[in-house]
Chains A and B, each alone.
Chain A
Amino acid sequence: RKEVEQDPGPFNVPEGATVAFNCTYSNSASQSFFWYRQDCRKEPKLLMSVYSSGNEDGRFTAQLNRASQYISLLIRDSKLSDSATYLCVVSSNTGKLIFGQGTTLQVKP
């Protein structure tokens, strides 16, 4: 079983749609939680950190449920430029990042 599990998709949605991604993690000792975005053949870039209280950055909302070991990302009003792979990431107490497989989003006009 992978330490971080995500549905690989692809998710194909029209512009303006709301889309939600989920992931689960297996190590209850995980320290920090993130969503990274990766465009085709590029490096991952931090999208946002994820906190138990939930946090929002514009059209993006992330949520962490430590009891269920579950992380979510909600994208509202999808744009064509949101098309990418979204990586769910947890970090250990040593700081190393453990990535999920990634979920591919394709936003269509």
Chain B
Amino acid sequence: DTGVSQNPRHKITKRGQNVTFRCDPISEHNRLYWYRQTLGQGPEFLTYFQNEAQLEKSRLLSDRFSAERPKGSFSTLEIQRTEQGDSAMYLCASGTGSDTQYFGPGTRLTVL
């Protein structure tokens, strides 16, 4: 499968714990995006990378959130000291800058 992959697919954690999600984009795509989607809403932009450079961050991305793309390939999104309000689907997408973005299956986070 040469699409966007995300791991884990599901994560259940207790409030206050740290979690890390991984996204592997389509290999020739230089842009990688993270979005968050809560029930009944459309996805909301969090941040994006062009190659290894993080070029834009949403105000939704508090200082408990950090994202990296160290070699311009896969990316990680870490949430520190999770809160119940962080429960959502975290979606990764990749593209080449021609606007079309391809989404991974998402990581569903539940914070108890």
A residues within 8 Å of B by Cβ? 4, 8, 31-32, 34, 42-46, 49, 87, 89, 91, 94-102
Interface flag for B69 (CB, 8 Å)? no
B interface size (C-beta, 8 A): 24
- The chain A residue with its CB closest to the CB of B46 is A96
> Assuming A32-B99, A43-B103, A43-B105, is B31 touching A95 (CB within 8 A)?
yes
Q: Most B CB atoms within 10 A — which of A31, A43, A94, A97?
A: A43
Chain B contact residues: helix, strand, loop or mixed = strand
Enumerate B34-78 residues with CB–CB distance to A below 8 Å: 35, 40-45, 48, 55-56
The residues of A that contact B93 with a CB separation of less than 8 Å are 97
> Assuming A43-B91, A96-B33, is B40 touching A91 (CB within 8 A)?
no
User: Do A100 and B42 touch (CB < 8 A)?
Assistant: yes
**Min CB gap A82→B, angstroms:** 19
16 A–B contacts, CB within 8 A, in A order: A32-B99, A43-B105, A44-B43, A44-B91, A46-B102, A49-B100, A87-B42, A87-B43, A91-B99, A94-B48, A94-B56, A95-B97, A96-B33, A97-B35, A100-B42, A101-B42
The residues of A that contact B45 with a CB separation of less than 8 Å are 96-98
Identify A45's interface contact among B33, B99, B103, CB under 8 A: B103
B residues within 8 Å of A by Cβ? 31, 33, 35, 40-45, 48, 55-56, 91, 93, 95, 97, 99-106
Q: How far is B40's CA from A6's CA once the two chains are assembled, in angstroms?
A: 12
Q: How far is B56's CA from A97's CA once the two chains are assembled, in angstroms?
A: 12
- Beyond known contacts A44-B103, A99-B43: 6 more, CB 8 A cutoff: A34-B99, A46-B100, A95-B48, A96-B48, A97-B33, A102-B41
Top-7 shortest CB links A-B? A99-B42, A43-B103, A32-B99, A96-B45, A99-B43, A102-B42, A87-B42
**Min CB gap B25→A, angstroms:** 13
